[in-house]
Structure 1
Amino acid sequence: MQVALNEDQRAIRDALDALARPFEEAPMHEAPLVAASPDFARALAESGFLDVACDPDLGTATAGVVVERLARLPFAVEAATRAFFAPLLEEGSGPVCLVEGTRTPRLVRFLEPGACVIVLEEQGVTCFTAGEGQLQPEPDSLFAYPMASLLEIPEERTALPITPSEARTRARAALAAEAAGLMAAALASVCAHLSERTQFGRKLATFQALRHRLAEAQVRTNGAYWMAMKAAATLDPADAALAAWHAQESATSTVYDFHQFLGAMGMTLEHPLHFWTYRLKALIGELGGRGASAAAAADALWG
């Protein structure tokens, strides 16, 4: 299938890049563990980019483009779940979170009062609006996302017109698109550092051992991107499971390499690399992790 961007998608991507341009610069030197911009989140919500999937001519294929581009920013914004589930939700809702099962307490990305929480269970998919008494903010989370502990899931929830299988497919496609953007941004950040840093009288980027591992990281990142775009376009269970598995598997190896390439600085918060790699660490464990994604891909392909 053709997964290259069409004219409409390129126009949306360019418009989104223009909106995000003032927020592309990452904080340096004593960078915070979690970087968020209420101003950008507000501008993004008002722009309508997260609702592109509601347009049948754009759909989730374009939502994948939006999610991937936004994941490249140092400032964390809730986009993936909202963009892929927007056609099923009320217009104008706040951050959208997804949890599997009703186990509590649990850490949830972007959870805040007023957030729409989608609950995915085997018997169906429901949602509710989180209240202050149902969550506990976790400002010291190590995953570079705004996070909170979900303390309670109410018995009364609104049913969503989607099957659990369809919801998992959307969630995996969203995860893959977000991970692809995070990997691309992390790789670009590492390449910039290696091109500037000198050791033994040479730029680090000229060392063959590093170049080989960077090339492998580039191949993995490219693969994650195209598989995510295919999954977003088809919403096929096998495509989505494979895209999520490849993204989680690739992130596992590239995150280790990226921090090693930065040496001692990679172990501190002085460099913005952690904005992307720490978020990848969170995504690696979501939706059951690599094992669940691989098993889902096998089931979808071979039954």
Structure 2
Amino acid sequence: MDLSLTDDQIAILDAIDTLTRPYAGATLHEAGFALTSEALDRDLAEGGFLDIGFDPDLGAISAALVVERLARLPQTVEAAASALIRPLLGDATPRPLCLVEEGKAHRPIRFLAPGATVLLVGPDRVRSFVAAPEHVRAQPEALYAYPMASLIAQPDDLIDHAVSADDVRTRWRVALAAEAAGLLAAALDSTATYVTDRQQFGRPLATFQALRHRLAEAQVRANGLYWLAMKAAATLDAGDAALAALHAQESARSCVYDFHQFLGAMGMTLEHPLHLWTYRLKALIGDLGGRGGQALAAADALWG
């Protein structure tokens, strides 16, 4: 499979880099646990970057590239579900788009707020509603690095969507993998910069062999996750998507621990921005049943 970027994809990513450069260079000192930007969200929406998946000539792989690139930013925006799942629902669907597994609506939900579209994904049906203030209870700032809220009620008149729940779950897994790939790459870059600059015993931490081995393993995981996510976006195959999501959650589990250990006490403060990517990775670990859920989905798809 040839996953080389097309001229259109290169142009899209260049345009995103240009648009987001002021945001990427923002001062991050004591940014807090969740760094959001309404201006960035508005700029991306107005530029059409979150609607790329609607274009059949660009498709899901271009949308996944956008999600991966945006996940590298210190600011978080609701891009993954909008770019990869909203094309199944239609452009009249309000965003942000919040994904919820039926029976698990009690869990904190990313980007949930009044006016957001809540998409309930069941075993064999997909329904939605637009959240009103009485449906939502905001979560106090916690160790999520995403804006979170709880769903405390839902209306009786839910909208039924004539889309396959399996297709939604496949794209959800692709979205999870693409976002995690960008988060892992940004966290690795932040960690590598720190250990290159930080001196210990008269030399940079990055020169110690044991640390370099673990950084190399993290780079292999980051590269592997990126290509698995892109392959899954290109094929939209249930097995490819489950394997990509499984690798994302496995990599998040192992790499987040290493990154914070490499930074020592600094990695546990708000003075360093590492948490903006690692804590988001931790929030993604439990999506769609966690690592066990992805492994079972992959086995069902491959050997059903």
Q: What TM-score results when the alignment is normalised by the length of structure 2?
A: 0.97
Report whether the alignment pairs 1:223 with 2:229. Answer: no
Cα deviation for residue 2 of structure 1 reads 1.1
Cα deviations across residues 158-216 of structure 1 (Å, max 9, x unaligned)? Answer: 12231111111000000000000000000000011011111110011111111000000
* CA RMSD across the alignment: 1.2
Aligned-partner SS, 1:256: helix
Counterpart position of 1:242: 243
- Separation of aligned partners in 2, 1:139 and 1:25: 27
The answer to whether the 8 Å contact 1:31/1:269 transfers is yes
Counterpart position of 1:157: 158
Cα deviation for residue 100 of structure 1 reads 0.2
The answer to whether the 8 Å contact 1:112/1:148 transfers is yes
Cα deviation for residue 103 of structure 1 reads 4.2
Counterpart position of 2:187: 186
Cα deviation for residue 104 of structure 1 reads 4.1
- Separation of aligned partners in 2, 1:297 and 1:135: 34
Aligned-partner SS, 2:140: coil
Aligned-partner SS, 1:70: helix
* 1:50-89 → structure 2 map (5 Å cutoff): 50-89=50-89
* 1:119-158 → structure 2 map (5 Å cutoff): 119-158=120-159
The answer to whether the 8 Å contact 1:190/1:262 transfers is yes
Aligned-partner SS, 2:85: helix
Aligned-partner SS, 1:262: helix
The answer to whether the 8 Å contact 1:84/1:174 transfers is yes
- Separation of aligned partners in 2, 1:27 and 1:259: 21
Counterpart position of 2:253: 252
Report whether the alignment pairs 1:118 with 2:116. Answer: no
Q: Which amino acid letter does the alignment assign opposite residue 52 of structure 2?
A: V
- Separation of aligned partners in 1, 2:133 and 2:16: 32
- Separation of aligned partners in 2, 1:82 and 1:141: 24
Cα deviations across residues 249-281 of structure 1 (Å, max 9, x unaligned)? Answer: 011000000000001101111100000000000
Cα deviation for residue 153 of structure 1 reads 2.5
Cα deviation for residue 26 of structure 1 reads 5.2
Q: What TM-score results when the alignment is normalised by the length of structure 1?
A: 0.97
Aligned-partner SS, 2:81: helix
Report whether the alignment pairs 1:212 with 2:213. Answer: yes
Q: Which amino acid letter does the alignment assign opposite residue 67 of structure 1?
A: V
- Separation of aligned partners in 1, 2:90 and 2:239: 28
Counterpart position of 2:37: 37
- Separation of aligned partners in 1, 2:167 and 2:51: 18
- Separation of aligned partners in 1, 2:288 and 2:96: 19
* 1:12-51 → structure 2 map (5 Å cutoff): 12-25=12-25, 27-51=27-51
> Which shifted more, 159-168 or 199-208?
159-168
Aligned-partner SS, 2:99: strand
The answer to whether the 8 Å contact 1:102/1:153 transfers is no
- Separation of aligned partners in 2, 1:149 and 1:214: 36
The answer to whether the 8 Å contact 2:206/2:212 transfers is yes
> Which shifted more, 22-31 or 236-245?
22-31
Cα deviation for residue 122 of structure 1 reads 1.4
Q: Which amino acid letter does the alignment assign opposite residue 171 of structure 2?
A: R
| % identical aligned pairs | 61
> Which shifted more, 91-100 or 38-47?
91-100
Unaligned runs of 5+ in 2: none
The answer to whether the 8 Å contact 2:86/2:97 transfers is no
The answer to whether the 8 Å contact 1:106/1:151 transfers is no
Cα deviation for residue 288 of structure 1 reads 0.6
Unaligned runs of 5+ in 1: none
Counterpart position of 2:204: 203
Cα deviation for residue 94 of structure 1 reads 2.0
- Separation of aligned partners in 2, 1:238 and 1:103: 23
The answer to whether the 8 Å contact 1:26/1:272 transfers is no
